[in-house]
Chain A
Amino acid sequence: MSVARGAIAIAIVSLGFAAIAQQSGETVPRQMQGAGAPAGLQPAPTRPPVDESALRYFASQGDTRRVDAEVARLRALYPEWTPPTDLSQSPGSALPQTDPAVDALWQLYADGKVAEIRAAIAERQAADPNWKPPAELLVALDQSEARRRLTNASDSSQWRTVLAIATETPTLLTCANVDVLWRVAEAFAKTNQIPRARDVYTYTLTNCANPTERLGTLQKAVALLPDAQIAELLKFERRTGDTPDDFSPIRDELARRRVERASVDGKTIAAPDDLAIVERLAENPADSGNALILGYYNYHHKSPEKALEWFKLALDRNAGPKAAEGYALTLRNLNRFVEAEAFAFDWRDKAKENMQVYLDVATALLSQDPPPRLDPRVITRVIQAVTAQRFVNGAQALGWYSYNTGQFRSARDWFLKALAWNAEDEPSAYGAALSTQRLNDRAGFNAIVTKWRPRSPRIADLADGRVTAPASGRRSAGPDATTETTAAMTAPSPIAMPSSGLPAPMTTTAPATAFPQDQPDSAARRAEATRMAQADAPPPVEPLRPSAALRRMEEPARFEQTAPAEALPAARRPAARAAEARGTGRANRGCTVTRNPTSLAPGAALTLGWCLMELNRPMEAASAFDEAVKRGEGQTREEAAYGKTLAYLRKDLTAEAAVAAAEAPQSADRRRELNASILSQRALGAYREGRWMEVILALGERSRVVPEQTDLMLLRGWSYFKLGRYNDAERIFRSVQRTGYSDEANVGLNAVLERTQNIRQ
């Protein structure tokens, strides 16, 4: 490791020297010797005069290409040197190079046959130990080998080798070998030495004249450096002179990138100039990438009509599945569900994402309120896809669709199917409870209640008779396409992941769905279904209460999802904020003076607790609350236990918080809130300490209490990542991406990609 570091350090030094050498007109090799070149280095001869034998040989052969290359090479080595004007003549008094064998070697060199030259030198030296090849030839061979080796190492991502070779052969690092400079810069970038990479690009732009190579330099840099540094490099653009630069493609690329980033993030607005550039680029009939970017930009920025046009253009230009995905999503956002389903259906097998979009769109189609009349063929193919993919949300949507059209038997079967695919899916359990109740399926109903009563207040309410099943239910988890929430407008509906990605052990047969449209010939049954639905309808006043009950699960979700999304701290927000809200109401009397809560009445201790919470002295608050818990009763005791839990949470003492939470019975809502906070805090704590499995367990438990927040999903994704469970991590990051938090998700996805690619290589 330290050897590698050393090598890199030397590379930087030598690189610096090469740059200085070029500018000051001194030769690189001498500088290298001064800089303490590594042992074994064969420095180029520095003695004047410059060996022009190769040059003269190539000239005598009329090989102008080689002559030019050799002139460039010598110039790079000896900036003060000027090529002779009389190349056709022998320099006479210069070097006595008349050995035909040496000419043959130079000819081999001209043909790029380095191995053959090495062989010939070795053989001749074996026969004639006193013979020495021209030093210039040896330098040229060393360089040529080093360049080839460096190129190969770079092609195989062996960055440390690249840097080591550059160190050993600093003479390579000149404008004559711009490709080598680019590869060295890339090696620096790939070994987390971005500033060094930038130095190499700066060196190139400062010293090298060829405008094509200068633009190429920026094109290389743009792939590796952050935008701000590219902007710095753009300042090297030469606007005057014989060969002025035109770096406008780079500026276009930067604009394109900015728009691309904004295109997946509804919160980022692209500059009009940038958009204009991308629109100009998209005018090229061969372009589809920019049309696609504009499609997504408009999709995520609430211009679905424009988005649709761009996606259409991209599709016409064969942008493929990604464009189809956008097109279908946009149709869905425009509430054109029937079209969306039909379009997405045609693309569903093109990529994993397209299948997901199809399922989402089909789910949205089914989830409309009131339930739409659908072509039986559509129903059939939705069922096929949902079943084949074991898509829980789809099964649930089929359940609600059946329920809302009075087909309680198939509704029950679909909800149970959804539960079979994800046993932890509360909304499906709720749907199953409602439909079994409607069917008077006592055994089925009781089975669900037994399992879910502790976890689902609304199922408990159903069982306790506080609510009865409504005639029609709604999809109740997460915003769906018909819900007017920001999340639903900017992103596909969140997708509950199935509990297992494994295929079904045997072919799953879809539950028999008795949709009216399914059996057009069975008018009698349809009539009966309608009659039953009417007969089963509850008293007119009833639906209001259950619909309130239905929403109860949504509310905490909304509350948490709209909480500010600063990655980690947000998880702690709800509890802290609740405490503060409570505190302000009660803490008007001063508590800055330390008081012993044991001397206070339980009510006063409770007030003191809230007051101390407001002053952010949670440990003192905890002992005040503790007094109120110990001696208080009823409401006071419940309130105090609640306060104590919040106090411990604020100190990150999750174990103590959990104990406190259990000290007094709490209302269902509050219990849920506390549990959720404790579990998120536990997850955060575990995450900070790198106990990844615990993070996943805590968050899994939490997601059974309340819907999972995006930031916590990220935490879970990273934990899977740290555990090396890249498939799971990718799955989570993809879900996050679909909720609109694509920047954070993309960081994760890229990390996964990088890791899995490395593994596959």
Chain B
Amino acid sequence: MNDSGSRITRLCWLFCVVVAALAPLQPAVSAPVEPVKIAGTVTASDWEAYRSRFVKPDGRVVDNANGDISHSEGQGYGLILALAAEDRGTFEKIWNFTLTEFLIRDDGLAVWKWDPAATPHVTDRNNATDGDILIAYALGRAGIHWKDDRYVKAAQRLAMAIGKTGIGREGESLFLLPGAKGFAAADRPDGPVVNLSYWVFEAFPILASLAPEFDWSAVWRQGIVLLQQATTGKTRLPADWISIRARLQPRTADGFPPEFGYNSLRIPLYLLRAGMTDMDWLKTVDQRWRAGSEGVAIVNVLTGQVRERLTDQGYTAMSAALSCALDGTPIPAELKTFEPKLYYSSTLYLLSMSLVGEKYPKCL
């Protein structure tokens, strides 16, 4: 198990160097990329506040804003945060629940939706690629950190399955399909449809070492390209669901609102966590999100109209982390005490603050 651990670490750095070498081609990625380390970046008390609210004793991560259902994304975040808090027992529980309840699909991916009130509990057996990636990523990192071969093997299996089913191809470019079914060019008139927030950039180096058969760095690159293409409009914000049928002209996918919504607002955080602080687009977002400006909000990407301002701690923590990363703005005092209410914003809070704690301690 030491073996696979060190292989991952080595390959990771190899891959990171590769990505860094691409920088001249991608003006946005000019600095050496250094993703977060994760383990040990969430304090025991913050984690305890999160765990006691959102993790059931059987390892189920509960989305309390959505009828207490669970989903593959939540299980993935739960695993990452348990690793960040170095809580081996809870990690093991969440993994146990994820393995037995979610990882049951014939193609090796996770079903995405689990409802405690339904029988059977799996109410949608489709997968969600971001959930799959988060789980594989967490398992891969945990396998290295705790030197546990079971995690690495499971991560490899899942990464292979994602590579096989979750990567789409248009000409030369590879991209992430949001799910195994329903998003490809053949599946819908405006297909392929993508969701840019499914690119968990920090995960790609790990996926590349877990399943080297697939060109994850091409997927990464395409994510950046698509993000740049999708942010050329007036508002410079991408819609959550984007049709890339017209290759150079991404547009909002049919049947979805043209909104920068709960999905997309994670993108800046993912970029920061992956170490891609130099992307110009982050400055644009920072200007919108800054205190005294619009703040974190759900925005119509065509008109710029704000549909909903998001003021929960997790969203403000995210914008504070962005300002901190861009120009060292200190984290406001009221964000330093974790007050978990809802699953999603609490998750964003811990992901943001663990990033600040690891990379930008001066902001604290």
Binding site for B on A (CB under 8 A): 4, 40, 113-116, 118-123, 126, 145, 148-149, 152-153, 155-161, 761
Contact = CB atoms under 8 A, between A and B. Distances in A.
Contact of B59 (A115, A152, A155): A115
B52 interface: no
Given A118-B95, A126-B146, A152-B104, 8 more contacts: A115-B59, A119-B89, A123-B92, A145-B99, A145-B100, A148-B101, A155-B120, A158-B104
Contact of A40 (B58, B99, B121, B153): B153
24 contacts: A115-B57, A115-B93, A118-B92, A118-B95, A119-B88, A119-B89, A119-B90, A119-B93, A119-B96, A121-B92, A122-B91, A123-B88, A145-B96, A145-B99, A145-B100, A148-B101, A152-B100, A152-B101, A152-B120, A152-B122, A155-B122, A156-B125, A158-B104, A160-B106
Contact of A115 (B58, B88, B104, B153): B58
Nearest to B105: A158
Q: How large is the interface on B (under 10, 10 to 19, 20 to 34, 35 or more residues)?
A: 20 to 34
A126 B100 CA distance: 23
A133 to B, nearest CB: 13
A755 to B, nearest CB: 14
A144 to B, nearest CB: 9
B203 interface: no
Contacts of A152: 100-101, 104, 120-122
A156 B99 CA distance: 15
A153 B96 CA distance: 15
Contacts of B92: 115, 118-119, 121-123
Main secondary structure of the interface of A (DSSP, over half): helix
A260 to B, nearest CB: 29
A116 B93 contact: yes
Nearest to B89: A119
List the 4 closest A-B pairs by CB distance, nearest first: A119-B89, A155-B120, A153-B104, A160-B106
Contact of B89 (A114, A120, A149): A120
Nearest to A3: B108
B125 A115 contact: no
B58 A113 contact: yes
A278 to B, nearest CB: 32
* Central interface residue in A118, A149, A155, by most chain B CB within 10 Å: A118
A126 B105 contact: no
A57 to B, nearest CB: 22
Interface string B242-281: 0000000000000000000000000000000000000000
B338 interface: no
B331 interface: no
Contacts of B105: 156, 158, 161
Contacts of B89: 119-120, 122-123
A156 B92 CA distance: 24
B174 interface: no
Contacts of B96: 114-115, 118-119, 145
A45 to B, nearest CB: 19
A116 B101 CA distance: 15
A148 B122 contact: no
B88 A122 contact: yes
Contacts of A161: 104-106
B47 interface: no
Contact of B125 (A119, A149, A761): A761
Contacts of B58: 113, 115-116
B69 interface: no
A159 B104 CA distance: 9
B122 A118 contact: no
A159 to B, nearest CB: 7
Interface in B37-80: 57-59
A115 B89 CA distance: 9
Given A40-B153, A114-B96, A156 B122 contact: yes
B193 to A, nearest CB: 18
Interface string B116-129: 00001110010000
B351 interface: no
* Central interface residue in B57, B96, B105, B111, by most chain A CB within 10 Å: B96
B97 interface: yes
A114 B92 CA distance: 10
A149 B97 CA distance: 10
A40 B156 CA distance: 13
A118 B95 CA distance: 10
Contacts of A114: 96
Nearest to B86: A126
Contacts of A145: 96, 99-100
Contacts of A149: 99-100, 103-104
Interface string B290-315: 00000000000000000000000000
B1 to A, nearest CB: 12
A188 to B, nearest CB: 14
A158 B59 contact: no
Contacts of A160: 106
B296 to A, nearest CB: 35
Contacts of A115: 57-59, 92-93, 96-97
Nearest to B153: A40
Given A149-B104, A155-B122, A116 B99 contact: no
Nearest to A119: B89
A30 to B, nearest CB: 24
Nearest to B150: A40
A118 B150 CA distance: 12
Nearest to A153: B104
Contacts of B93: 115-116, 118-119
Nearest to A149: B100
Contacts of A153: 104
Contact of A156 (B88, B90, B120, B146): B120
